[in-house]
Amino acid sequence: MTPLELLALICFFVIVRVAISLRPEPVPAAARSGPSTRTVIREYLDAFIVAGLVALFLITFVVRTFFIPSGSMEPTLMVHDVLLVNEFEYRFTKPHHGDIVVFPPPKSEPNDFIKRLIGAPGDTLRVHQGIVYRNGEALVEPYIQDKPNYELEIKNYGIYVDGNRLDPEFANIPPKEKWSAPDRIPDGCYYMMGDNRQNSEDSHAWGFAQTGGTFATGERKGEKASFTGHAFLIFFPLNRIRILK
C-alpha cells in the first residue's frame, strides 16, 4: 500500500468515525450494562486511525518496502524477497562498509538498485584472482555466491577492469580534481558490489554510486544522486524473515 492509498483509507475511517459521533445515540435501557455497540465501534475506529497515521508517517519518512527483482544479491537476497529499508538513517550517519544499500544508480534505469557497500571515500580497492582487497587487506566475504571473475583496480583517477579504464561517457567517474589521491575513492563516492559477483551489474560496470550532489559523468550526468536507504529486514515471504547484517 502506497502512502497515498493509506491516507485515503484513513480519511474514509475518519469520515465514518465523525458520522457515528454526530448520529444521536439512543438512551440504553436501565437494565442494560456495559458499553454500547457504537461505543465499541468508535474505540476500534479511533485505534485504527491512530495506527494508520503512525504507519503513514513511518512509510513516508522512515521506512519503505523494496521488492527484489533479480538474482544479483543472491544468496543473501532472493528473487521476490520483500525488504524494509530505513530511509532515515543516512540523513544523520554515513554509510558503513557492508551495508546493503538501496540507491538510484548512475545509469538510465527507472528503479533503484540494491547492492552491498564495499568501498567508501578514501579507500583503496582492488580485485585480484577473485579476492577483494580494501586498503591492502583481503576481505572475508562469507555472503557471496561466487568470486568475481574479473581483475579490477582503482588507480590513475579511474576504475580499471581487466586492464581497461571505465569510460566516463557511460560510467560515473568524477574528474581528477575531485579525487584526494589517484588510487583512493573520491569524497561522496561509494563502490558497490552485488553478492552474486558473476551475475551483478554493479560499480565494475557503471562506476561510483553517490550519497548526494549530482552524477559527475555517465548516462545520468548532472542528475541528482542519493542513497535511498539501508535495507535492514526481510519480512516476506514468511519463511525468509530475518534481520540483514
Q: Are residues 43 and 124 in the same domain?
A: no
Q: Are residues 75 and 40 in the same domain?
A: no
- Rounded Cα distance between 244 and 13, Å, is 35
* Domain CATH number, residue 133: 2.10.109.10
So what's the pLDDT on residue 91? 87
Q: Are residues 30 and 80 in the same domain?
A: no
- Rounded Cα distance between 33 and 105, Å, is 63
Q: Are residues 50 and 72 in the same domain?
A: no
Residue where a domain stops, chosen among 34, 61, 88: 61
Q: Are residues 142 and 238 in the same domain?
A: yes
Q: Are residues 9 and 84 in the same domain?
A: no
**pTM of full prediction above 0.95:** no
Residue where a domain stops, chosen among 61, 85, 108: 61
Q: Is the peptide bond before 237 cis (omega within 30 degrees of 0)?
A: yes
> What digits encode the pLDDT tens for the residues 110-163?
999 999 999 999 999 999 999 999 999 999 999 999 999 999 999 999 999 999
Q: How far is CA 136 from the centre of its chain?
A: 28
- Rounded Cα distance between 57 and 233, Å, is 19
Number of domains making up the chain? 2
What are the residues whose beta carbons fall under 8 Å from the beta carbon of 29, sequence distance 6 or more? none
DSSP state, residue 136 = T
Positions in the chain short of pLDDT 50: 1-16, 31, 52-58
Q: Are residues 45 and 110 in the same domain?
A: no
So what's the pLDDT on residue 146? 92
Residue where a domain stops, chosen among 61, 78, 110: 61
Q: Are residues 106 and 45 in the same domain?
A: no
CA dihedral 73, 88, 106, 133 (to 10 degrees): -50
- Just list the catalytic residues: 72, 115
Q: Are residues 114 and 15 in the same domain?
A: no
Q: Are residues 167 and 236 in the same domain?
A: yes
Q: Are residues 52 and 103 in the same domain?
A: no
Range of the domain at 228: 68-243
Q: Are residues 54 and 72 in the same domain?
A: no
Phi-psi region of 111 (alpha: psi -120 to 50; beta: other; left: phi over 0): beta
So what's the pLDDT on residue 92? 87
Cell representation of residue 108 = 538510465
